Amino acid sequence: MTGPFEVALSVVLLTFVLLVAVLTAVVRDVLTAIVVFAAYSLGLAILWVLYRAPDVGLTEAAVGAGVTTALLLLAISRTVRPLDGDTFVDRRSVRPRSLFVVALVAGGLLLTVPALPPVGSVETPAFGPVAEFYLQDAAERGIDNAVTAVLVVYRGFDTFGEVAVVFTAAVAALSVLGREVTG
């Protein structure tokens, strides 16, 4: 993130991501919303690569832009389009209660921002002695990709939990879907 080209590209991508994020919420047609949402994921994926996180970028591109889009398309292929004027929600009516909850959540989240360390501060955990150890020890173990080493060797317990979550979520989702299909 030093060259003027990278800065310009990140500004363009951030603007694009923000624009399609708003579009996803605003567009009226479900199919359009899904396609715009896929574009949002693709923009994010390129941003991750730009910010030197290609592992995350690869996942975002495959899951966000690829698989999620396919699953959402399948889901809407089983729905019907409401006739004109026969809408489910009146978009102009906003309940004051909802506004209050949104303001409360956003305000609560914003309150935590001052607790974050300043950008680039040497006090952040990323610059602590642990990161140095990870980089050195992973190379000694023969694992060149530090991301993989952290995921499996140093934080193996977390990753084991993640795999268990994926497995459990699949079983749970399939038990619900199975009942729907055969029932």
CA angle 49, 6, 118 (to 5 degrees): 80
Residue 27: other Cβ atoms inside 10 A:
16
Decide: is 144 part of the binding site for other proteins (CB under 8 A): yes
Q: CA 97 from chain center: how many Å? A: 28
Of 25, 80, 89, 129, the one binding other proteins by CB under 8 A: 80
Q: How far apart are CA 155 and CA 99, in angstroms?
A: 40
Among 19, 50, 66, 134, binds other proteins (CB under 8 A): 66
Is 164 a binding residue for other proteins by CB under 8 A? The answer is yes
Q: Amino acid identity of 94? A: V
86-125 mask for other proteins (x: CB under 8 A)?
A: ----------------------------------------
List 22, 26, 71, 104, residue binding other proteins (CB under 8 A): 71
Which CB sits closer to other proteins, 19 or 30? 30
Rounded to a whole number of angstroms, the CA Rg of the chain reads: 22
Q: Judged by CB under 8 A, which stretch of 2-10, 58-66, 92-100, 105-113 contacts other proteins?
A: 58-66
Cα gap 42→47, rounded to integer Å: 9
User: Counting contacts by CB under 8 A, is residue 19 touching other proteins?
Assistant: no
Tokens 């359009």 — which residue?
32
Half-sphere exposure of 57 (CA within 13 A, CB side): 11
The Cα–Cα gap between 142 and 165 comes to 29
* 82 scored as a contact of other proteins (CB under 8 A): no
Candidates 8-16, 20-28, 71-79, 93-101: pick the segment binding other proteins (CB under 8 A).
71-79
Residue labelled with tokens 């899904």: 34
Residues at the site binding other proteins, with contacts judged by CB under 8 A = 31, 54-55, 58-59, 62-63, 66-67, 70-71, 73-78, 80, 141-145, 147-149, 151-153, 156-157, 159-160, 163-164, 166-167, 169-170, 173-174, 177-178, 181, 183
